[in-house]
Amino acid sequence: MIYPIIKFPDPVLMKPAEDVTVFDKELKQLVADMFESMYEAQGIGLAAPQINIAKRLCIIDLSFKKDPAQKIVLINPEIIENSGKQHEEEGCLSLPEIREKVNRAFQVKVRAQDVEGKWFEIEGTELLSRAFQHEIDHLNGILFIDHLSRLKRDLVLRRIRKMQKNGEW
């Protein structure tokens, strides 16, 4: 099933998500549906709140379907280490057409559960590190535009309001 992507300023995007506590076939189906929904929307990462499900679950596939081994599922994730800095452009399926440079850690280590509920750790640098941080931010009710300076954020919000007014959002 392909879920529609929730757009900013939907309140579900600004609230911390709840922990996943049940690891069953419904969860596995949700994960499969999230990958389908993400690919349909042309994304490389998707958090459950973006499909109106306030659970601490996100997925990432930097290969965009080319390498099944690169599909990552993070349930109840938390960043346990980070180092370095990077300043790169980001976009978001919930903020279509908005792209801005954001400061992130260059390297992160994440602790999370898999679809069976087993804990694991995974590290990422560069784009994977940014994807981890971006998707985990979603689970904490934070959007990438929240990392922008007040001036840049205000400009983005003004652009969104204009698109809403014109029926383009």
For 42-75, write each residue's pLDDT tens digit: 999 999 999 999 999 999 999 999 999 999 999 9
Query: How many Å apart are CA 15 and CA 80, to the nearest integer?
Result: 21
pLDDT above 90: percentage of residues in the chain = 99
What's the chain look like in SS3? Answer: CCCCCCCCCCHHHHCCCECCCCCCHHHHHHHHHHHHHHHHCCCCEEEHHHHCCCECEEEECCCCCCCHHHCEEEEEEEEEEEECCEEEEEEECCEEEEEEEEEECCEEEEEEECCCCCEEEEEEEHHHHHHHHHHHHHHCCCCHHHHCCHHHHHHHHHHHHHHHHCCCC
Residue 138, annotated as binding a ligand? yes
Residue 58, annotated as binding a ligand? no
Q: Which of 26, 89, 116, 135 is catalytic?
A: 135
Residue 123 a catalytic site member = no
Residue 3 lies in a domain: no
Q: What is the mean pLDDT of residues 121-138?
A: 98
Residue 74 lies in a domain: yes
Residue 138 lies in a domain: yes
20 contacts: CB under 8 Å, gap ≥ 6: 27, 55, 56, 57, 75, 76, 113
- CATH number of the domain encompassing residue 147: 3.90.45.10
How many domains, the chain?
Answer: 1
Instruction: Please give the pLDDT value at position 149.
Output: 96
Structure tokens at 33: 């549906």
Residue 71 lies in a domain: yes
Q: How confident is the model at residue 26 (pLDDT cuts 50, 70, 90)?
A: very high
Structure tokens at 151: 């001036």
Structural domain range at position 33: 11-165
Residue 1 lies in a domain: no
Residue 4 lies in a domain: no
Our measurement of the distance from residue 43's CA atom to the centroid of its chain's CA atoms, rounded to an integer in Å, reads 10
